[in-house]
Amino acid sequence: MHNGRAVLLGGREVRLSVEVGELEETPQLAAVDPEDDLPGQSEDVLGMTLLPLSANLREQFSFGDDVSGVVITGVLGDSAAFERGIRPGDIIVEVGQEEVSTPAEVASKVRAIEQLGRKSVLLLVQRGGDLRLVAVRLGEG
């Protein structure tokens, strides 16, 4: 679709042509070097790939020593987590209002919440210095 617009630029009217398209989503967003993927320590939960905080990940993402939780290193583009704005480099601090420090803890707490028949799980996610609560639908990945 083309749409022409007139704007003022330097006191003169300039006509611009704009084409609106659809952004194609990538199936997997990753922000971590493969060498950082520690065998046996990663978990895939709700379309997210998780790793424990390591010295390499702290350096790569510029996390301070005061940061704790589990690092999200990849997010499937078609997952409920992606739809809720979760991205690689975010940190899961809590699952269901309980602190987590390993990917296995995240997976275990998500399974326990699923077994209760809940439709979503509440994650406390840190990005930069900001914390936010994110409800992610269960049964999506």
- Residue 78: which domain range? 25-137
* Structural domain contains residue 8: no
CATH of the domain at 76: 2.30.42.60
At 63, list the tokens.
């996390």
- The count of other CB atoms within 10 Å of the CB of residue 8 is 8
Residue 81 vs residues 23, 64, 141: alpha-carbon distances, Å: 18, 25, 9
* Structural domain contains residue 35: yes
* Mean pLDDT score of the chain: 80
How many domains are contained in the chain? 1
pLDDT for res 7: 62
Among 48, 59, 65, CA closest to 125:
48
Q: What percent of the chain has pLDDT above 90?
A: 51
pLDDT for res 29: 45
* Structural domain contains residue 32: yes
* Structural domain contains residue 7: no
pLDDT in tens, 57-109: 888 888 888 888 999 999 998 999 999 999 999 999 999 999 999 999 999 99
Contacts of 57 by beta carbon, 8 Å cutoff, 6+ apart:
32, 36, 51, 63, 71, 73
Q: Residue 123: which region, alpha, beta or left (left: phi > 0; alpha: psi -120 to 50)?
A: beta
pLDDT in tens, 6-39: 666 666 776 766 666 665 544 444 445 544 445 5
